[in-house]
């Protein structure tokens, strides 16, 4: 049986099956986006050469982009299967998330803009209510979108260099990330107010926004640079995690992150006096999360998994 206030170096798709039904107050997780950002983010069987760092351009590119395909895939049947494979992957674990949450409890899921719709469908198809989508405005973001005139310059095609001046291929600067907000349905025939009394979850605390210098709406502006960065390639700001925890839980309630990476959500839970369960399958990140939590915690309150 899973213990509370403990981190696990395990595959969460398996381990979540041992978590008690109706026991968790919030699942807050930055799940793999399925965009080949890193090895752990490859959620498909596509073996095309252009993917997985085999193309000439990718070999020259920095380590992150070496993993990825073209900015927008879709030129072969295998590429077209990637989103459906991502949906199937979400489908393989979301049923257990629904089971372990208390009725009316929330789940916040960081999901990439290009695959978020597949994640939403998997949650809905397994019984979750899709409550809202929060936009996290990162304010700044790295951006690579090639000027198409560069190609024509290399070809000495002056006519098209002039004609296409200012035009780019690729995406717009990605300054926002969606945070999907799901809710486990509560008792049929009851009201949400009844559920809040029965299960202590289901409502959200408006006063939180003031404490984090935000307006009480679904756009949260928080610089990604406010992170103690460098511990994980997709590390999220601790302050953002704390806002989401405080928005939907009270002290001593239980927060779970099944894809914890360097453990940012769990640090937030610990600092706010919530209990936690964290799971990470890569040993390197698991150890980073352990180190971070060890630094934070009182000896005796926090148990280690070896």
Ligand X SMILES: C[S@@+](CC[C@H](N)C(=O)[O-])C[C@H]1O[C@@H](n2cnc3c(N)ncnc32)[C@H](O)[C@@H]1O
Residue 11 beta carbon to ligand X: minimum distance, rounded to whole angstroms: 4
Pairing of strands 219-221, 129-137: parallel
Residue 54 beta carbon to ligand X: minimum distance, rounded to whole angstroms: 22
By C-beta, is 61 or 231 nearer to ligand X? 231
By C-beta, is 235 or 275 nearer to ligand X? 235
By C-beta, is 178 or 261 nearer to ligand X? 261
By C-beta, is 156 or 283 nearer to ligand X? 283
Residue 160 beta carbon to ligand X: minimum distance, rounded to whole angstroms: 40
Tokens of 176: 């926002």
Q: Of 113, 120, 71, which is closest to residue 91 (Cα–Cα)?
A: 120
Residue 114 beta carbon to ligand X: minimum distance, rounded to whole angstroms: 15
Residue 12 beta carbon to ligand X: minimum distance, rounded to whole angstroms: 4
Pairing of strands 275-280, 6-9: parallel
Torsion sign (Cα): 304, 263, 42, 17? positive
What is the rounded CA–CA span in Å between residue 234 and residue 67? 14
End-to-end CA distance of the chain: 15
Residue 107's SS3 state is strand
By C-beta, is 102 or 232 nearer to ligand X? 232
Minimal CB distance residue for ligand X: 261
Contact residues toward ligand X (CB under 6 A) are 11-13, 30, 32, 40, 232, 234-236, 259, 261-262, 264, 279-282, 285
Say how far residue 198 (Cα) sits from the centre of its chain.
29
């Amino acid at each position: 049986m899973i213990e509370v206030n403990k981190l696990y170096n395990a595959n969460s798709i398996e381990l979540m099956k041992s978590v008690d039904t109706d026991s968790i107050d919030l699942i807050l997780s930055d799940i793999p986006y399925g965009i080949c950002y890193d090895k752990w983010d490859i959620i498909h069987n596509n073996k095309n050469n252009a993917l997985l760092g085999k193309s000439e351009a990718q070999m020259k590119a920095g380590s992150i982009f070496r993993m990825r395909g073209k900015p927008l895939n879709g030129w072969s049947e295998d590429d077209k299967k990637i989103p459906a494979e991502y949906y199937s992957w979400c489908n393989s674990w979301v049923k257990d998330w629904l089971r372990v949450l208390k009725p009316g409890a929330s789940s916040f899921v960081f999901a990439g803009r290009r695959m978020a719709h597949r994640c939403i469908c998997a949650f809905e198809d397994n019984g979750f209510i899709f409550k809202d989508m929060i936009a996290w405005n990162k304010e700044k973001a790295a951006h690579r979108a090639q000027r198409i005139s560069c190609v024509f310059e290399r070809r000495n095609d002056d006519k098209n260099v002039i004609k296409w001046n200012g035009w780019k291929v690729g995406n717009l600067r990605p300054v926002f990330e969606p945070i999907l907000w799901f809710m486990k349905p509560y008792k049929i025939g009851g009201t949400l107010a009844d559920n809040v009394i029965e299960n202590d979850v289901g409502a959200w605390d408006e006063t939180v926004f003031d404490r984090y210098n935000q307006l009480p709406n679904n756009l949260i502006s928080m610089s990604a640079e406010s992170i103690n960065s460098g511990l994980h390639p997709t590390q999220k700001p601790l302050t953002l995690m704390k806002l989401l925890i405080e928005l939907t839980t009270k002290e001593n309630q239980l927060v779970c992150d099944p894809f914890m990476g360097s453990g940012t959500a769990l640090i937030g839970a610990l600092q706010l006096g919530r209990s936690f369960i964290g799971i990470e399958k890569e040993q390197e990140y698991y150890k980073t999360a352990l180190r971070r939590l060890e630094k934070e915690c009182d000896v005796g309150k926090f148990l280690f998994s070896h």
